[in-house]
Structure 1
Amino acid sequence: MASTLSRLQLGQTRGLRAKLLRRYEHQPLVSCLAGLYGCRWRRYERSCAQPGDCCCNKVSQNPPLDTSGSGSVHLYESCGGVKLIKKSGVCVCVSVRRCLITGAYLAVLFALYLVPLGLYSPCIKEKRTLGPAPALIGHRGAPMLAPENTLMSFEKAVEAGSKGLETDVTISFDGVPFLMHDRTLRRTTNVHEVFPNRTDALAAMFTWAELESLNAGAWFLSHNPFGTTGSLGAEERRQAANQSVCSLQAFLQLAAQTDKLVIFDLYRPPRGHPYRDTWIQRTLEVIQNESSIQSSQVRPATDLRDLVQEIDPELQQTSGSRLPLEELQSNNIVKLNLHYSSMSAELIRSLEYEAVNITTNLYVISQPWLYSLAWCSGVHSVTTNSPQLLSIMSSPMFLMSPDEYNLMWILTDLLSLMLIVIIFVFHRLKKKKNLSSISTLNKVKM
């Protein structure tokens, strides 16, 4: 009676195990991953759920009868030295699936080994061919260290070693050009406190007296846009909290005193604005008559190049798109100001531009690795949020000669191959040991 009960419990246990294994019946990816990462191809082998299914059952010299209640018996035969499983009249080669998975694994592995041969990086070059580091242009100043487009921000950019300063210019309602990137004052000022009913009004519709009454720095400390305010000292925090909207005249005076290049986008005022049609003339008037900066230091970005050229021929024109070389020259464009995604295209055409003294500037590059790629590509300057970080780089990251690059990948591939072989050999020996133990146990039972 006890023996019968024991057999029933054993049958229930095996039946439960068979159900659990059948959960993976339609998940070949599970078996594949188990083999790829552990070389344990037998881990998810299981019996067929239905006649005609592709079976992979564990092979042993003396397979037990199925006591799960299904009434089926698994018979093991040999066909040319290959183990076969027969169930419900269907005979399947156990090693076929393993061979297919192993072949796919080796094919993927071989492809991965060849991938480095197809990779390209501008930093794979001889060190002697590396050009000078791209000049740094502070994007709205140094916005990681001070509120953007404020006088403090541009002073920090100058201290960090920037060769140029970039900003955005808007015209106030009474004709004073000032620095503001956004169309409204909501993000970078306390307009919601001073003029609660005009929070969403366009910045150009405020007079200069109204703009001067706003605080343009407290938001930087409260919002901490780059997570860098913690690095500021007590005096720097006090200074940042008291910044105001910066006029174009004050900005140009700083650039003139420090001999910095100036790049700016000029926004046309909205309809109904008194300077809607004379915004270019008013901005150039400030450059020529209200500041001591040289016209050759200024690079305005606007589509009305003919008008700018007519008013001030010495101004250096900037283009935000890659125009034909002839058009660039005819419009007196001396700098291309492009997004950093244009880096590869600029690398191809850099020699063509350099031949006619047209330089390239990429924006906005603030990470050392991206700056390294621009450096290796031969870009002349970059607009950055972090001049304090990029200015201390003495050489590009990842710079290596083609021979060093090939040696690195060959050694890596060989080490990887050795590790894979060791893992396979280890599991093979472990498998033989397990089969030997099973054979010895069966002999003892007999």
Structure 2
Amino acid sequence: LNGSIGRFTVAVLGLFLSVLFSLYLVPLGMYSPCIKEAGTLGPAPALIGHRGAPMLAPENTLMSFEKAVEAGGAGLETDVTISYDGVPFLMHDTTLKRTTNVADVFPNQTHQDASMFTWAELQQLNAGDWFLSRDPFGTVSSMSEMDRAWAQNQSVPSLAQFLQVAARSGRLVLFDLRMPPYGHPYSQTYINTTLQVVKANINSSQVLWLPSADRESVQAMDPDLQQTSGEKASIQELMDGHITRLNLHYSTMSQQQISKYRSVNITTNLYVISQPWLYTLGWCAGAQSVTTNSVHVLSGITKPLFLMTPEDYNLMWILTDAVSAFLIISIFIFHWCVDSLDALSCS
């Protein structure tokens, strides 16, 4: 019986030591873009306000974009659709029911496509009340009375109004353009109509042109636009398409890919990054800009939250392993001594 107990004890101890040794080796195989040689960290990514500053104001409203500018955003991102009578305006959703009071003003048209409303009808809607009542980011309680009143009076902006904010403040603009449904009067000309509004209200070099439809024609009509792609492709394909920037989800890009594109002057914007730790990883990976819900938070970060050289990283883990090994051995010795004293007292 004692022999069986002894073999079991040895087996358990062997398993414990094997697992412990494996854990000691794990840090050697870990990777982080923030483990970098000294002096290789690039500049902080520029901040592009996702639908403005949606934590501080109703998304896709003039107030939201003004707040993003005020917070230090270098660019403004939005979503554009076109009204039934040909006015490009800002709206992310297919319908108006989430971010306006369309259910009150046009109760029988709640589920109608946003682009099927005329501009005059859209101007009758309130685009701020929903933000105060639903409090999507839990930030309404921190707003001043003046800001609450400002938010409550927001309407659906036109693309022209949005571009004027960007032009006045010297900000970049990035927008997605939704194709109107079949049967819409501008279903064939919405790109040209939108492009005309852009050229009339802002310097084209400030515009990151994301829509992929008819890109060659758009490039020919306005070569000053910064052609931006939402899809990865080979360097040759991107250069043939005059792409100067990629707009991609942060999970799809690696430090090596960002570096490869940057080597041919194709910059990378990552979306949507709103947490400081994720912004730190994007910074370390070399992203040139990020789209964010929290311009007001990320603009205050002056250095990565965690950054160390490979030498510092290795030293940290070696010291941690050494201290933990010392503590484990000390515990074993202590228990052995206690067991030995108990055995002597029993005898």
Deviations along 1:144-196, whole A, 9 cap, x unmatched? 11111000110011011111111100001111101111111111111111111
| Match of residue 6 from structure 1 | none
Q: Which residue of 2 aligns with 1:339?
A: 249
Q: What is the CA distance between 1:223 and its match in structure 2? A: 1.2
* 2:274 paired residue number: 366
- Give the AA of the match of 1:184: T
Residue 111, structure 1, aligned to residue 111, structure 2: no
* 1:162 matches 2:73: yes
Q: Equivalent of 2:92, from 146, 161, 181?
A: 181
Give the aligned residue type for 2:27. Answer: P
Q: Report deviation, 1:436.
A: 4.1
For 2:306 and 2:258, the matched residues in 1 are separated by 22
Q: Which residue in the other structure is 1:279 paired with?
A: 190
1:10-409 residue pairs with structure 2 within 5 A? 83-84=2-3, 93-289=4-200, 291=201, 293-304=202-213, 305-344=215-254, 347-409=255-317
Deviates more, 1:111-120 or 1:185-194: 185-194
Aligned counterparts of 1:164 and 1:249: Cα–Cα separation in 2: 16
**Distance in 1, Cα, partners of 2:334 & 2:135:** 54
Distance in 1 between residues matched to 2:38 and 2:71, nearest whole Å = 26
Does the 8 Å contact 1:127/1:399 carry over to 2? no
Shift of 1:200: 1.3
Contact persistence 1:215–1:243 (CA under 8 A): yes
**Shift in Å at residue 378 of structure 1?**
1.1
Return the match for 2:327 from 408, 419, 427: 419
Q: SS of 2:22's equivalent? A: helix
Separation (CA, whole Å) in 1 of partners of 2:271 and 2:341: 63
When the two chains are superposed, the root-mean-square deviation of aligned CA atoms in Å is 1.4
| Alignment TM-score, normalising by the size of structure 2 | 0.96
Deviates more, 1:162-171 or 1:320-329: 320-329
Deviation at residue 350 of structure 1 after TM alignment: 3.3
Q: Distance in 2 between matches of 1:306 and 1:234?
A: 48
How far apart are residue 243 of structure 1 and its match? 0.9
- Name the CA distance, whole Å, in 1 between partners of 2:34 and 2:142: 32
Please give the alpha-carbon distance, in whole angstroms, between the structure 1 residues aligned to 2:139 and 2:323: 41
Q: CA deviation at 1:198?
A: 1.4
Amino acid paired to 2:139:
T
Aligned AA for 1:302? P
CA contact (8 A) 1:343 1:374 kept: no
Q: Match of 1:214, as an amino acid?
A: L
Deviation sequence 1:117-138 (CA, Å, 0-9, x none): 0011111113311111111101
SS of equivalent to 2:186: coil
Shift of 1:310: 2.9
Q: Summarize deviations over 1:294-336 as a string: whole Å, max 9, x none.
A: 0111112122201212322222211011111122112111110
1:311 alignment partner AA: M
How high is the sequence identity, in percent, across the aligned residues?
Answer: 61
Report which structure shows greater RCO (CA 8 Å, sep ≥6): 2
Corresponding letter in the other structure for 1:287: V
Mapped to 1, the partners of 2:342 and 2:51 lie a distance apart of 69
Letter in 1 for 2:26: V
Name the amino acid aligned to 2:247: N
Gaps of 5+ in 1: 1-75, 77-82, 85-92, 441-446
The Cα offsets for residues 196-242 of structure 1, whole Å up to 9 and x where unpaired, read as: 11111111111111111111111111111111222211111111111
User: Hey, what's the Cα distance between the residues in 2 that align with 1:319 and 1:192?
Assistant: 36
- 1:432 paired with 2:343, answer no
* 8 A Cα contact 2:68 2:296, kept in partner: yes
Aligned residue for 1:53? none
CA distance in 1, matches of 2:102, 2:169: 32
Count of residue correspondences: 346
CA contact (8 A) 1:173 1:205 kept: yes
Partners of 2:153 and 2:337 in 1: how far apart? 74
CA contact (8 A) 2:230 2:247 kept: yes
Contact 2:259–2:286 at 8 Å: present in 1 too? no
Give the 3-state SS of the residue equivalent to 2:39 in structure 1: helix
Cα deviation for residue 426 of structure 1 reads: 2.5
Q: Distance in 2 between matches of 1:218 and 1:419?
A: 59
C-alpha distance in 2, partners of 1:215/1:316?
A: 33
**Following the alignment from structure 2 to structure 1, what is the Cα–Cα distance between the partners of residues 157 and 54?**
14
**Residues of 1 paired with 2:205 and 2:243: CA distance?**
12
State the Cα distance separating 1:427 from its structure 2 match.
Answer: 2.3
Whole-Å separation in 2 of the counterparts to 1:381 and 1:389:
15
In structure 2, what is the Cα distance between the partners aligned to 1:224 and 1:434?
65
Aligned equivalents of 1:196 and 1:239: distance in 2? 25
Structure 2 gaps of 5+ residues are none
